[in-house]
Amino acid sequence: MSNELYAVDEWAAAFDEIDAPDTPNLQWLATRTGRAVTWEEYALTNAREAKTAAAHERMCAEEIASIQARKAAHKRRGEKARARIAYAFAEGKLGKRIKDGVVTVSITKPREKLMVVDKMELPPQWWRVVQEPMKAELLAHYKSTGEIVDGCDVVEGDPGVSIR
C-alpha cells in the first residue's frame, strides 16, 4: 500500500508545520504555498487527508493485531516449555537446580493461590464497584423531559463530517 493513499495536495503538508494555525486560514496558506486556495479546495484536500489517515489507522490496527497474535503464540510456547521443565524435574527427580554452559534452571515449590469458584457467593465487601455516568440515559432523560440533571450541562457538540 502506498504512503499516500489519496493524493493530498502539496500544501496540505504545510499544516503539519509548527507555526501552522489551529483554525483554517486561507491567507496564511496562500502566503506559505505561493498560490490562492479556495474553501472548496481546502475542504476536499482535508477530506483526502482524513481518508489517508483513516486508512493508515486501519493498517496500524491490523499490524497491532498481528503482533498481538504473535506475542500470544510466543507466550504459550514459553508456558508449554515451563510445564515440560516442571514435568522433567518431577519425573526425573532432578533436585532443585540444574545447569549447563548456557542456562541454569531451578524449580521452587508452588505458591498458594486463591481461586474464586463462584462469584455470586462472594459477600458485597469483596467486590469493586466502578461508578461512571450513564450518559446515554441522561441524554434520553433530557430529550424526553427537558430537565437538565444537576452536574450536567447542555453543550453543542462537533458537527458530523461524512467522507466517502
Query: Tell me: the pLDDT tens digits for 46-95?
Result: 888 889 889 999 999 999 999 999 999 999 999 999 999 999 988 888 88
User: Residue 18 has what pLDDT?
Assistant: 55
How far apart CA 111 and CA 42 sit, in angstroms, is: 64
pLDDT at 101 over 80: yes
Residue 134 buriedness (CB in 10 A; 0-12 / 13-18 / 19+): exposed
Q: What percent of the chain has pLDDT over 90?
A: 46
* Alpha helices by DSSP H, the chain: 26-33, 39-92, 135-145
Q: Assign 35 a pLDDT band (cuts: 50, 70, 90).
A: confident
Listed ranges 10-14, 24-28, 34-38, 88-92; the one with the highest mean pLDDT: 88-92
> If you average pLDDT over residues 26-31, what whole number do you get?
80
Query: 39-92 and 26-33 helices cross at what angle (nearest 10)?
Result: 80
User: Residue 98 has what pLDDT?
Assistant: 92
> If you average pLDDT over residues 123-140, what whole number do you get?
91
How far apart CA 32 and CA 20 sit, in angstroms, is: 10
**Considering only 7-11, 31-35, 43-47, which range has the smallest mean pLDDT?**
7-11
> If you average pLDDT over residues 108-120, what whole number do you get?
90
Amino acid occupying residue 134 = M
Query: How many other C-beta atoms lie within 10 A of the C-beta of residue 45?
Result: 19
pLDDT at 138 over 90: yes
Element (DSSP H or E) covering residue 98: strand 97-99
How far apart CA 44 and CA 12 sit, in angstroms, is: 11
How far apart CA 144 and CA 27 sit, in angstroms, is: 45
Q: What's the predicted TM-score (pTM) here?
A: 0.59
Q: Are 42 and 36 in contact (CB under 8 A)?
A: no
How far apart CA 118 and CA 88 sit, in angstroms, is: 34
Give 3-state DSSP helix, strand, coil % of the chain, rounded to 5.
Answer: 50, 5, 45
